[in-house]
């Protein structure tokens, strides 16, 4: 059997979808699994032994120049590659217009996706032949992806515990080991201070105070700060200045370089953002916090993870900005996150 998974973005969502590979291999030994993903998120998938072929796409670039020769050439090549595989099933677990179009380009007769209430864009329903509704038990986003993929096989995912591993290239693993050798011995923690929405961020003074408490409680610990934008770098530099040499700013890292760094640290602390989910996928414990989004839906699962939801009656609101932003940020206390940190380290 040949199947295609369409989950193109974003980083965290692609990571949340990884267990579908393990599920499919458990229920159908010998199955061939292909995946369509945005080019920038290819490192999450490219070394996975459970995938036969990966089709990277550049949909943002295509939208900017839909009639250019390059876009037409890319789409023609994608259509040709997909149709040559002659898929038995296509699973669209993205749920928007672009993923629906990709499913249609595959030429597969059976294209399975989300029911209407779960679609990002309603037009997606025009391109699927079977639409799967969620149940009350399908609360976490990974459960929802597994719900769609499990539908044709008649075997539900609860109790199977499918994993979602991420693999790295040897040269990236070696680079991470060299970096680790330059750091002091002792516990290694990582702060992920940034994310995409302002309504997912914590307040700067909270990060500084949390770092101070960790260093005071664990004098041999080193805190690394990962960043991906000038604002995040500036916040990291501020924490380094105010806390001292136990805190270090990481160099700017691409996804493929960040993965083995996350694997080598003892704990990652951050909000609803891709690097936190990368850490969980490679087996690193996490402490994560949620403001505009839901911990029940997105937080890493299991005994090695702790999640904190903002103490606001309106949370989760799924708004990208809010007049009560400051109040919401401060509703996640340093005490609460520090207790979660010490619980996991202890």
- Asked whether the predicted pLDDT for residue 135 surpasses 90, the reply is yes
Contact predicate 197/271, CB 8 Å: no
Average pLDDT, the chain: 96
pLDDT per position as a tens digit, 153-177: 999 999 898 999 999 999 999 999 9
Q: Which domains does the chain have, with CATH numbers?
A: 2-153 (3.40.50.2000), 170-345 (3.40.50.2000)
Give yes or no for a contact between 268 and 300, defined as CB atoms under 8 angstroms apart.
no
Q: Which two tokens stand for residue 75?
A: 């789409």
pLDDT tens column, 173-199: 999 999 999 999 999 999 999 998 999
Global confidence as pTM: 0.92
Give me the pLDDT at residue 117, please: 83
Per-residue pLDDT, 161: 87
- Residue among 146, 252, 249, 153 at smallest CA distance from 207: 249
pLDDT at 15 over 90: yes
Q: What is the pLDDT of residue 286?
A: 98
Q: What gap in Å lies between CA 235 and CA 249, rounded to an integer? A: 10
Report helix angle 19-27 to 141-150, nearest 10. Answer: 30
E-strand ranges in 150-252 read 188-192, 222-226, 247-249
Report residue 280 as tokens: 């969980």
pLDDT digits (tens, 9 = 90+) for 217-266: 999 999 999 999 999 999 999 999 999 999 999 999 999 999 999 999 99
Task: Name the pairing type of β-strands 188-192 and 267-270.
Answer: parallel
**pLDDT tens digits for range 45-80:** 999 999 999 999 999 999 899 889 999 999 999 999
- pLDDT value, residue 116: 85
| CA-to-CA separations, 333 to 11, 75, 153, 202, 311, in angstroms, rounded | 27, 49, 45, 10, 9
Please give the DSSP secondary-structure letter assigned to residue 301.
Answer: P
Instruction: Return the biggest CA–CA distance within the chain.
Output: 61
């Amino acid at each position: 059997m040949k199947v295609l998974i369409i989950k193109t973005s974003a980083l965290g969502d692609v990571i949340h979808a990884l267990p579908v590979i393990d599920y499919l291999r458990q229920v159908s030994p010998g199955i061939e699994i292909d995946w369509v993903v945005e080019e920038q998120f290819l490192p999450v998938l490219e070394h996975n032994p459970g995938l036969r072929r990966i089709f990277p796409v550049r949909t943002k670039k295509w939208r900017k120049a839909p009639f250019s020769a390059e876009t037409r050439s890319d789409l023609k090549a994608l259509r040709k590659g997909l149709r040559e595989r002659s898929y038995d099933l296509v699973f669209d677990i993205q749920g928007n217009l672009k993923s629906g179009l990709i499913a249609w380009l595959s030429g597969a007769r059976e294209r399975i996706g989300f029911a209407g209430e779960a679609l990002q864009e309603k037009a997606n329903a025009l391109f699927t032949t079977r639409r799967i509704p969620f149940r009350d038990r399908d609360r976490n986003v990974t459960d929802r992806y597994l719900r769609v993929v499990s539908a044709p096989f008649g075997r539900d995912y609860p109790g199977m515990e499918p994993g979602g591993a991420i693999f790295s290239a040897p040269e990236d693993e070696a680079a991470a080991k060299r970096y680790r050798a330059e750091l002091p011995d002792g516990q290694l923690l990582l702060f992920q201070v940034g994310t995409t929405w302002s309504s997912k961020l914590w307040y700067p003074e909270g990060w500084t105070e949390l770092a101070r408490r960790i260093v005071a409680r664990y004098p041999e610990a080193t805190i690394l700060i990962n960043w991906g934008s000038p604002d995040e770098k500036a916040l990291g530099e501020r924490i380094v200045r105010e806390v001292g040499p136990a805190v270090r700013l990481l160099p700017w890292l691409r996804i493929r370089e960040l993965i083995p760094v996350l694997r080598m640290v003892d704990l990652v602390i951050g909000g609803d953002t891709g690097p936190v989910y990368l850490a969980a996928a490679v087996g690193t414990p996490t402490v994560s916090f949620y403001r505009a989004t839901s911990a029940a839906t997105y937080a890493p699962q299991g005994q090695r993870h702790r999640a904190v939801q903002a103490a606001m009656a309106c949370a989760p609101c799924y708004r990208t900005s809010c007049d009560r932003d400051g109040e919401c940020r401060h509703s996640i206390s340093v005490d609460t996150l520090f207790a979660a940190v010490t619980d996991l380290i202890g």
